Chain A
Amino acid sequence: MARIKKARRTGIKQDMTPMVDVAFLLLTFFMLTTQFRPPELTPVNLPSATAERKLPDKDIMTVTVGAKGDVYLGVDAQPTRDRIFNNYIARRLGEAGMGAAAVEDSARKFRLAEGFFIGDGSDMQRLATNLETMIIQARLAEPRLRPVIKADVSTDYQYIKLIMDIFRKTNMPTFNLITSLEALPKSQN
């Protein structure tokens, strides 16, 4: 008589130690290497465009404009920020009567800030002169700076026109507008 062989069920015992080890290693790696993004200067809703040119890696001077027309200027490298602060801002703060310790403190904050407030629509004249002065100072601190405009979709055109005019005046006619990527429209000829 044939013996019907029953499928043998064997228990599978696995040592889970290596898996837990990997989990902890990953956790530790990310705990040590995660850096927080610096807080946004102002909420910016980028316009979408089909342009695919990537932002250059370094030496970028960003003019950020919020939806309400608040304008900020920032550079990407800390040494450049230091130079701008020491060449110009420190002097102005000193003239305004700020003590040495307070200037030191400002210097530290300035070095880490992504950008600083220049002005807004409430005083267009002052915005124009301040922006031009700071852009010239930034260029003096780092001649290789490339200008970039990061503005919200609903910013009034007058701010953009002001920025473009200053770029042209300070001899920087080529600049980039930051956009979010959009697919090419389907019907093309």
Chain B
Amino acid sequence: MGGIAAPEPQSSRKKGKKKRKRIGFNLDMTPMVDVAFLLLTFFMLTTTFAKPNTMEVNLPSKDMTEVKVAESNVLTIRVTEGDKAYWNIGFDEPKPFELYDKSGEKPTISNAFREILKTESEKIRQRVGEDVMAIVLKFDKKAQYRNLVDVLDELNILRFRRFSIADYTEQDAEEIKKVSSIQPAQPVQP
């Protein structure tokens, strides 16, 4: 700027001394190491292992008496081998439906299943006046564990609390055989 530069200690006034003295930059690393140790100690003391998630199942104990439910308020869901599912109210004929929606990368519970649950529960509620639908789940020996978990999970999400798991008897197998021989693959729209 101005014509006069502030005199510097190493100005070139000195004769012959052209080289500037190099000041080394000494950074004290102690605080950084302290921070590192503090972080380490903090995580050593507070880390907990991730616990596996679980789904709780409450079966009725063996000395519980049976609850009487009117059959018209009972929705029976039967699942057999190969993810085949059938539903019916009371003693009606079982109707097949698609349990899984296989379009995505992982099969998820289909909307058809949710629709059946909601529609039938709504019908019963309108008829009886309160929400009394009971769901009976029957799984074939050869159905997969995955079916049980997915159905229970779905009932939990939709907040259906009144359900029970029953045995899949010879009678059930008979009824399903009757239905699957007459109507091979025609899911009835509920």
Contacts and interface: CB of A to CB of B under 8 A. Distances in A.
Interface of A: 1-3, 8, 10-15, 18-19, 21-22, 26, 29, 46-55, 57, 65, 148, 151-161, 164, 167-169, 171, 173-182, 184-185, 188
A160 B56 contact: no
Contacts of B129: none
Contact of A173 (B23, B30, B60): B60
B59 A154 contact: no
Nearest to A148: B54
Interface size grouping (class) on chain B: 35 or more
Given A18-B29, A151-B145, A179-B149, 7 more contacts: A51-B156, A53-B53, A54-B54, A157-B140, A164-B57, A164-B165, A185-B108
B56 A54 contact: no
B92 interface: no
Q: At the interface, is chain A mostly helix, strand, loop or mixed?
A: mixed
Contacts, number: 153
Contacts of B60: 173
A10 B23 contact: yes
B19 to A, nearest CB: 12
Given A2-B2, A51-B54, A152 B145 contact: yes
Given A18-B29, A22-B37, A47 B145 contact: yes
The 9 closest A-B pairs by CB, nearest first: A51-B55, A176-B54, A158-B141, A49-B153, A47-B149, A153-B146, A155-B145, A173-B59, A157-B143
Given A55-B54, A164-B59, A18 B145 contact: no
Nearest to A5: B5
B142 interface: yes
Interface in B81-120: 106, 108
B53 A181 contact: yes
21 contacts: A8-B20, A12-B27, A13-B25, A18-B32, A21-B33, A46-B52, A47-B149, A49-B149, A50-B156, A51-B55, A57-B51, A151-B145, A153-B149, A154-B146, A174-B56, A174-B58, A176-B55, A176-B57, A177-B57, A181-B53, A184-B157
B142 A185 contact: no
B53 A52 contact: yes
A188 B142 CA distance: 31
B40 A26 contact: yes
Interface of B: 1-3, 5, 20, 22-27, 29-30, 32-33, 36-37, 40, 44, 51-62, 106, 108, 139-150, 152-153, 156-157, 165, 167
B142 to A, nearest CB: 6
A168 B59 contact: yes
Contacts of B24: 10-13
A177 B144 contact: no
A161 B54 contact: no
Contact of A178 (B5, B53, B141): B53
A180 B145 contact: no
A171 B150 contact: no
Nearest to B22: A10
Given A11-B22, A15-B29, A22-B37, A179 B145 contact: no
A159 B55 CA distance: 18
Contacts of B156: 50-51
